[in-house]
C-alpha cells in the first residue's frame, strides 16, 4: 500500500522537489509555504498550518507531520452497520471516474468473499450503462440495467430487491453525473435516495462521492453541492497519480469534514488503495525533509 500511495503522489512530490531540490533536517517557514502552495494546498489552509506550528523560523518534520495529520484524524469514518445487503450509492460528476471506481469497489468486495450486485442507475448516458455492463461481465458480477432514459430510481429499486431476495452482501448503485448545479439532477438523486429506502429501510447505507484528483481544490465546491443535495458519507479520490495537486487533500478534508476511504491509482480493477493518512503525509514529507534521528 505504501508503494502504491507513493507512486500516486509522484507528480506532487516531483513538483515539490523543484521548489526544494535538497532534503533538509529543518525548513524555513517561507520555503514551507512555497512547497505547500506548489502542492495545491489552499492559501487559507497553508496559513492555518503555519499558525499551528511551534514558534520559530525553522520547522521540524515531527511538528509538521503532527499538524498535517490533524486534518485527517478529526474525521471519524462512519461506522458501517451490519446491514445485508449493504447498499452504497455512488455519486460524482461525469469524467470523475465513477463507473470505474464502482468496478474497483465491486472487485474489492468480491475478493473479500462477498456477493456483490451492481445497479446501473446512470440511465442518462447509454455509454455509462454499457461501461458498467462490460465491467460486470469482466468481473463476473451480476448487474441490473435497462435502456437509456429509463427511470433511474426503478433500476435502484430493482437492484436492491434482487439483492434482498438472493441474499447478496453488497449493492453498488451508479448515478448520473451531470453538472452538480442542475435542479433536475438534484431532484433525481433525492428521488433515488427515497426509493432506495422504500426497497430496504435505511438504504442507501452509505453515499460515496467520487472526486477527480486532477481538479485539486476546485473539486471542493462540487463536493459541497452534492453534500447539500443528499448528504455525503465518504469520499474516494481518483486520478491522483495524474496530477501534482496531491496537497488538495488537506483542504478537501478540512472543508468537507468527510473521511477519504480510498485512492484510485490507475485504470485496472485492482488499482484502488485504502487511504492511510500517516502514509500519505510521510510520502509528501519524504520529498523535502529527512527523517529525524532520535538516536
Check residue 79 and report its DSSP letter. P
> Domain extents for the chain?
2-75+281-285, 86-275
Cβ neighbour number for residue 274 with a 10 Å cutoff: 13
Mean pLDDT in residue range 161-183: 88
Domain 2-75+281-285 -> CATH class: mainly alpha
Residue with cell 508503494: 3
Instruction: Give the residue with greater pLDDT, 237 vs 181.
Output: 237
Architecture of domain 86-275: 3-Layer(aba) Sandwich (3.40)
Kindly tell me if the per-residue pLDDT of 180 is higher than 60.
no
pTM metric for this prediction? 0.93
% pLDDT > 90, the chain: 71
pLDDT-derived band at 68, boundaries 50, 70, 90: very high
- At 184-209, the pLDDT tens digits run 888 899 999 999 999 999 999 999 99
Distance from C-alpha of 98 to C-alpha of 100, rounded to nearest angstrom: 6
Instruction: Spell out the residues 6+ positions from residue 48 whose beta carbon is closer than 8 angstroms to its own.
Output: 254
Amino acid at each position: 500500500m505504501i508503494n502504491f500511495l507513493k507512486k500516486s503522489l509522484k507528480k506532487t512530490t516531483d513538483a515539490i522537489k523543484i521548489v526544494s531540490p535538497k532534503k533538509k533536517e529543518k525548513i524555513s517557514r517561507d520555503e514551507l509555504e512555497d512547497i505547500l502552495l506548489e502542492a495545491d494546498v489552499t492559501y487559507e489552509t497553508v496559513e492555518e498550518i503555519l499558525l499551528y506550528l511551534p514558534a520559530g523560523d525553522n520547522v521540524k518534520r515531527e511538528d509538521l507531520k503532527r499538524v498535517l495529520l490533524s486534518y485527517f484524524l478529526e474525521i471519524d469514518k462512519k461506522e458501517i452497520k451490519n446491514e445485508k445487503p449493504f447498499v452504497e450509492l455512488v455519486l460524482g460528476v461525469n469524467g470523475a471516474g465513477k463507473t470505474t471506481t464502482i468496478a474497483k469497489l465491486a472487485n474489492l468486495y468480491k475478493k473479500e468473499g462477498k456477493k456483490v450486485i451492481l445497479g446501473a442507475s446512470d440511465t442518462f448516458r447509454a455509454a455509462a450503462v454499457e461501461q458498467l455492463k462490460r465491467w460486470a461481465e469482466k468481473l463476473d458480477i451480476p448487474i441490473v440495467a435497462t435502456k437509456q432514459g429509463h427511470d433511474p430510481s426503478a433500476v435502484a429499486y430493482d437492484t436492491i430487491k434482487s439483492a434482498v431476495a438472493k441474499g447478496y452482501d453488497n449493492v453498488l448503485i451508479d448515478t448520473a453525473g451531470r453538472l452538480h448545479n442542475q435542479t433536475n439532477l438534484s431532484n433525481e438523486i433525492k428521488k433515488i435516495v427515497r426509493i432506495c429506502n422504500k426497497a430496504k429501510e435505511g438504504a442507501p447505507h452509505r453515499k460515496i462521492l467520487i472526486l477527480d484528483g486532477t481538479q485539486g481544490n476546485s473539486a471542493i465546491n462540487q463536493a459541497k453541492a452534492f453534500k447539500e443535495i443528499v448528504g455525503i458519507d465518504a469520499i474516494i479520490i481518483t486520478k491522483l497519480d495524474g496530477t501534482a495537486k496531491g496537497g488538495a487533500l488537506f483542504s478537501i478534508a478540512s472543508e468537507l469534514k468527510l473521511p477519504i476511504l480510498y485512492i484510485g491509482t490507475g485504470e485496472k480493477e485492482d488499482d484502488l488503495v485504502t487511504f492511510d493518512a500517516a502514509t500519505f503525509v510521510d510520502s509528501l514529507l519524504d520529498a523535502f525533509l529527512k527523517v529525524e534521528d532520535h538516536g
